[in-house]
Amino acid sequence: MGESRLGTVGALSLSVVSSVSIVICNKALISTLGFTFATTLTSWHLLVTFCSLHVALWMKLFEHKPFDPRAVMGFGILNGISIGLLNLSLGFNSVGFYQMTKLAIIPCTVLLETLFFRKRFSRSIQLALIILLFGVGVATVTDLQLNVLGSVLSLLAVFTTCIAQIMTNTIQKRFKVSSTQLLYQSCPYQALTLFITGPFLDGLLTNQNVFAFNYTPQVLVFIVLSCLISVSVNFSTFLVIGKTSPVTYQVLGHLKTCLVLAFGYVLLHDPFSWRNILGILIAVVGMILYSYLCLVENQQKATEASTQLSQVKETETDPLLGAENGTSIADAGAPKAPVWSLNKDFEA
Q: What is the pLDDT of residue 235?
A: 87
The C-alpha atoms of residue 65 and residue 79 are separated, in whole angstroms, by 20
Residue range 139-159: mean pLDDT, rounded? 80
Residue range 57-84: mean pLDDT, rounded? 91
DSSP 265-297: HHHS-----HHHHHHHHHHHHHHHHHHHHHHHH
The band of 268, judged by pLDDT with boundaries at 50, 70 and 90, is low
Q: What is the pLDDT of residue 286?
A: 85
The band of 106, judged by pLDDT with boundaries at 50, 70 and 90, is confident
Q: What is the pLDDT of residue 301?
A: 77
The band of 284, judged by pLDDT with boundaries at 50, 70 and 90, is confident
Listed residue (289, 293, 284) closest to 138, CA to CA? 284
Percent of the chain beyond pLDDT 70? 82
* 56 to 9, 13, 215, 226, 298: CA distances (angstroms): 23, 22, 30, 20, 33
- Interval 191-229: pLDDT, tens: 999 999 999 999 988 899 999 999 999 999 999 999 999
The C-alpha atoms of residue 64 and residue 184 are separated, in whole angstroms, by 8
Listed residue (208, 316, 189, 226) closest to 19, CA to CA? 226
More confident: 340 or 263: 263
More confident: 255 or 271: 255
Residue range 44-62: mean pLDDT, rounded? 92
Q: What is the pLDDT of residue 271?
A: 66
